[in-house]
């Protein structure tokens, strides 16, 4: 994902999203806002990336979900981990933590990962649930 940092412009014009109004990439109503034509694991409301780049990242995250599926007997031991990639012009660890809490990606099994790119600062942050097979 670090290769994305080199592709992004340093700044853009427009209003920055907040935790309260950042679009949920899983929602069909946010398809166009997030930059793909269907609910996805990626949200790029500023269209920093090309559609093919967003599609490729979405494929990588979909593959992550497929390879993290467990083989245990309980619901959570069988459940895959889900990872999402979001872009905002500015934000920090508290932004991604707050957004992860608001989106309630996996409240039951606690296996989600939310990767956040602060494009204006060219920094990556992540909110990783306690049971996600992912290390920061």
Q: How many residues in total does the chain contain?
A: 136
Q: Does 41 map to a domain?
A: yes
CB-based contacts of 108, cutoff 8 Å, min separation 6: 75, 76
Q: Give the per-residue pLDDT at 73.
A: 85
Residue 130 pLDDT: 92
In a domain, 94, yes or no: yes
Is residue 52 a part of any domain in this protein? yes
Residue 85: inside a domain, yes or no?
Answer: yes
- pTM for this prediction: 0.83
What sign does the dihedral 45-50-53-55 (CA atoms) show? positive
What is the pLDDT, as a whole number, of residue 36?
Answer: 85
Residue 62 sits in a domain whose CATH number is: 3.10.310.50
Smallest CA-to-CA distance from 69 within 133, 136, 114 is with 133
pLDDT number for residue 72: 81
In the predicted structure, residue 22 carries a pLDDT above the cut 90: yes
Q: Residue 103's pLDDT is what?
A: 93
Q: Give the tens place of pLDDT for each residue, 28-74.
A: 888 889 998 888 999 999 999 999 999 999 999 999 999 998 888 88
Residue 77 has pLDDT above 50, yes or no: yes
The answer to the question of residue 14 being in a domain is no
Q: Does any domain span residue 120? A: yes
Residue 74 lies in a domain: no
In angstroms, what CA-CA distances link 97 with 53, 100, 115?
Answer: 25, 5, 10
User: Is pLDDT larger for residue 33 or for residue 136?
Assistant: 33
Q: Among all chains, which residue has been given the structure tokens 């559609």?
A: 51
Question: Is the separation of the CB atoms in 92 and 125 below 8 Å?
Answer: yes
Do the domain assignments include residue 9? no
Please give the residue range of the domain that contains residue 63.
23-68+79-128
Q: Total structural domains in the chain?
A: 1
Residue that the structure tokens 């949200």 belong to: 43
């Amino acid at each position: 994902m670090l290769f994305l940092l080199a592709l992004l412009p340093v700044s853009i014009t427009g209003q920055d999203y907040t935790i309260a109004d950042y679009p949920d990439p899983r929602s069909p109503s946010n398809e166009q806002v997030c930059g793909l034509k269907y609910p996805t694991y990626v949200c790029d409301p500023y269209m920093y990336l090309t559609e093919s780049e967003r599609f490729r990242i979405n494929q990588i995250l979909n593959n992550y979900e497929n390879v993290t599926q467990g083989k245990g007997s309980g619901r959570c031991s069988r459940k895959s981990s889900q990872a999402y990639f979001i872009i905002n012009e500015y934000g920090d660890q508290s932004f991604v933590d707050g957004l992860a809490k608001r989106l309630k990606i996996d409240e039951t099994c606690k296996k989600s990962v939310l990767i956040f790119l602060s494009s204006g600062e060219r920094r990556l942050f992540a909110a990783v649930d306690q049971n996600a097979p992912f290390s920061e």
